[in-house]
Each structure stands twice: as structure tokens, then as C-alpha cells.
Amino acid sequence: MSNEQAMAGKVFIVTGSGNGIGREIALAAGAAGAAVVVNDIGAALDGALSGQSPGAEVAAQIVAAGGRAIADRNSVADPSAADAMVETALREFGRVDGVINCAGILRDKMVWNMSYDDWDAVLKVHLYGAFNVSRAAARHFKEQKGGTFVHLTSTAGLIGNFGQANYSAAKMGMCGLSRSLALEMARYNVRSNCIAPYAITRMMTSIPRPDKDEWLAKRAAMKAERIAPLAVFLSGDAATEVNGQIFTVRGNEIFVMSQPRPIRGVHRSEGWTLATLGSHFLPSVKANLVPLETGLEVFPWDAI
């Protein structure tokens, strides 16, 4: 089946798809034959409304190329707006087959400088937003016995990063949400997976670095459009055996990420004391403790 026919007849909602990775995913889905609800409220990186409508531009580009698309400016952070987003898909295209959760904002600060609003705003868009739209779509997926979720998580949550406690917590939470959706909805032929993308977008270029030009040059292969094929593939019928997984994409590299499982256990029939925890437990598991690293240390090589 050609790229132009791969998603024919399907209807996808792509949140946060006016810019960056979401934009590339929406364009790729449209090019593959899907009808696309291009959701974007037109916000700056910190979530403040910009007055612009990048989602309308993306929808127009899909239509100009012969596809079907409509812009949607509902906020993912509002549960009723998320319901309205799904209703838009049903009204305009008659069905909804997939949700790709890309919407996000940044409020980067070290945790001692992070305000409650910085914390709350980021979780509302990333984690609550993914839940709101997923829940709204799940009701229809359950009834039609089919559907897909793809959530853009981050190695900031999976591995760790500085100055992003709010973002890291939200992105790790999205992995738990995805796993629950996968388990609960598998009986209804519904799948849910995550992608942790590495891509040069306005989010990444906003991070202050003294060596930013050199740093960006080394990551030239990490283009937003490299994320789109996997996101669209996971939303299609060719990926029916893939469910509950987490992937990382860096340039032309795709990794299947591990998920928490027991790797070492120690048993003491008489129970544990402070003394035996220090003398027996810690020496037994020390080699298995996870290093305190960031994503840049786990993936130190230049993206291919």
C-alpha cells in the first residue's frame, strides 16, 4: 500500500499540531490519506495565547495538497473543550480513529524557583491534556471497537533532566496513562503507545545554553519530521501488534525503551533492620542501582 493510501478513511486528532513535531505529524497523517483535526490554541512556549492561528495554516496546507483537515482551537487543558474536539471530528468527518497527543508548554526552572503556577500549568497541558482528550476519544473507541493513542513523552521524564521537574513529572505521568489505556482498552481493539522524541523545535531551542550554536549543529539530524513516520505508523493497521510500548526517536534512530521491572531482589526470612539493610541489602543491590544521568549522558553520540 502506498504512503498516500496507508491511512485512507481514518480520522486523527493531533493536538498541539500548529508547530514543531505536532505539525509534522499532522502533515504526514494528511499525506498518508487521513483526515486530520489540527488542534492548536496558538500559544507561546509558556502557554500564553499569542493571537496567532498556526493550526489553521497547517490545515490549509493539508487541504491544498488534496487532503482533508480542519483547524481546532480548543484547549486540551479543559475537559469540556476536549469533548468538543472529539465532537468536531465526528461532525466534520463522521468518526475518529486516533488521537496523537503532542500539545505542550514549558516553564523551565530549578525546583526551588518553580512556582505552583509553573508546576500546575505544565501538568495541565501535558498530563491533564493527554487525559482529557484520551478520555473523550476512549468512549467512541470503546463503542466502535477500535482506535489508537500515541502520546509524546520525553526522556526528561524517562531518564531525567535539569530544571524541568514539572515537565519531567508530566511526561512520566503520560507513560502511566498510556500503559493504563493499553491494558484497559485492549479488549476493545484499542492500542496506546508513547514516543519520546529528540527533535530541534522551538521547545529545544528555548533551553538556555552557553554553547547553543555548537550544540544545535551537532544535532542537525534531529529534525521534527523524523518523528512523524513512527507516530503515524503506530496509528495505523500495520502496527496492530504494538501496544503499551515506549519508543525513542533520534534522527534516523528508533529505540524501544525499557519499562520498570524487577531487576534484583534480596530476601531475608527474619526481616530487615537498619543494620542488615546496610550490611546485606545495599551491598547486594549496589551494582544494580540506576545511575543518576540525564538523557544527554544516556545518548551521548550525535544523532544519525
| Residues involved in catalysis | 167
Sign of the Cα pseudo-torsion (126, 251, 243, 183, in order) = negative
* 246-250 vs 253-256, strand pairing mode: antiparallel
H or E element that contains 71: strand 68-72
For cell 481493539, what's the residue? 189
Contact 177, 151 (CB under 8 A): yes
What CA–CA distance (Å, rounded) separates 303 from 9?
35
Residues 216, 218, 223, CA angle at the centre, nearest 5°?
65
In sequence order, what are the residues at sequence separation of 6 or more whose Cβ sits closer than 8 angstroms to the Cβ of residue 5?
32, 33
**Start-end of H helices in 186-241:** 202-205, 212-218, 228-234
